[in-house]
Amino acid sequence: MGSSSIDFINYMPDEILHHILSFHPIDLAIRTSVLSRRWRHVWCKTPCIDFANVFLTVTARKINQTLSSYRAPKIMSVNLHTTEYYVCASDIESWVEFAMFRNVEKLSMTFRGPHAYRFLDGFYLSWKSPRKLTLSSCYLHDESIAKILSGCPILETLRLLWFRGLLEPLDLSRSPTEDRRLIEIVAPHIHNLILSTKAPCTLVDVSSSSKANFDIDIINDHDFSLNAAFIQIMVLKMLAKLQN
């Protein structure tokens, strides 16, 4: 790369540089700070923070140091992934508070170790900004799901991976249903599915369900595409997914 190319990049607006760095793990973005004085603090305002770099050991200390230097008032996505086997609950909760204070829209958390983090134990959940939430290797129970659904009013996607706990029933009765977009339910390990909705929905994978309770109340006041034939086909497809 010639000097003219380097000068071209250096003269780019900060907003463009932030956007470019958002496609890389945060440790690679931080390395650009040694290029010059111009780059010293560019990474501090990237709209996305991703700690999931499989080639590095990500510790709680590294995450704390990184977040303490972050300067942007708004953040689009945070991917919290630590390779440590033991992480203090206070650290995890401070990371979540950091993301929520900056109105994060997409939050993903993965924690390793023999003792899964007991997610949402003991505190009220009120997350107004997330649209996508992914929880991996957390300890979840029925009350956790209820808190997530009632405390995240604009949540569009919820992914639960490798979780532990007593979560056999999946109760979606508290899920907000003002949006008319199709709700897709992927829950291959759920035994008992309880669904209450006023929006169109479909079952993608509920292969382990042996018990299901559906309360579908679709009011056709303004959206005339939701006619009787559409609703009948939707319900028949859902019933076809219940094999047990």
In a domain, 8, yes or no: no
In a domain, 54, yes or no: yes
Report whether pLDDT(222) > 90. no
Q: Give which of 130, 37, 26, 105 is closest to 18, Cα–Cα.
A: 26
Q: Residues near 203 by Cβ (< 8 Å), separated by ≥ 6?
A: 185, 237, 238, 241, 242
Highest mean pLDDT: which of 17-21, 54-58, 68-72, 169-173? Answer: 68-72
- What token pair was written down for 21? 């760095």
Q: What is the pLDDT of residues 87-131, one digit of tens each?
A: 787 888 889 889 999 999 999 988 765 555 666 555 557 788 988
Backbone CA torsion sign across 22, 23, 26, 27: negative
**The pLDDT of residue 113:** 58
In a domain, 24, yes or no: no
Q: What is the pLDDT of residues 188-219, one digit of tens each?
A: 777 778 777 776 788 888 888 888 888 877 66
Q: Are strands 183-186 and 201-205 parallel, antiparallel or unpaired?
A: parallel
**The pLDDT of residue 201:** 80
In a domain, 34, yes or no: no
Rounded to an integer, the average pLDDT of 165-178 is 60
Provide the domain count of the chain.
Answer: 1
Q: Which residues partner with 202 through β-bridges? A: 184
- What token pair was written down for 36? 């010059």
Residues 169, 192 contacting (CB under 8 angstroms): yes
In a domain, 183, yes or no: yes
Q: How far is CA 75 from CA 95, 100, 102, 130, in A?
A: 13, 9, 6, 11
**The pLDDT of residue 123:** 54
Cα 57 from Cα 83, distance rounded (Å): 6
Residues 147, 130 contacting (CB under 8 angstroms): no
In a domain, 16, yes or no: no
State how far Cα 173 lies from the chain centre.
20
Q: State if pTM tops 0.95.
A: no
**Which is more confidently placed, 45 or 35?**
45
**The pLDDT of residue 164:** 64
In a domain, 9, yes or no: no
In a domain, 31, yes or no: no
Residues 125, 147 contacting (CB under 8 angstroms): yes
What is the CATH classification number for the domain harbouring 194?
3.80.10
Cα 10 from Cα 217, distance rounded (Å): 56
- CA dihedral defined by 91, 112, 110, 202, rounded to 10 degrees? -140
Rounded to an integer, the average pLDDT of 58-79 is 89
By residue range, what is the domain housing residue 208?
47-240
Per-position b or e across 21-34, b if 16+ CB within 10 A of its CB: bbebbbbebbebee
Reported as a pLDDT band with limits 50, 70 and 90, residue 175 is low
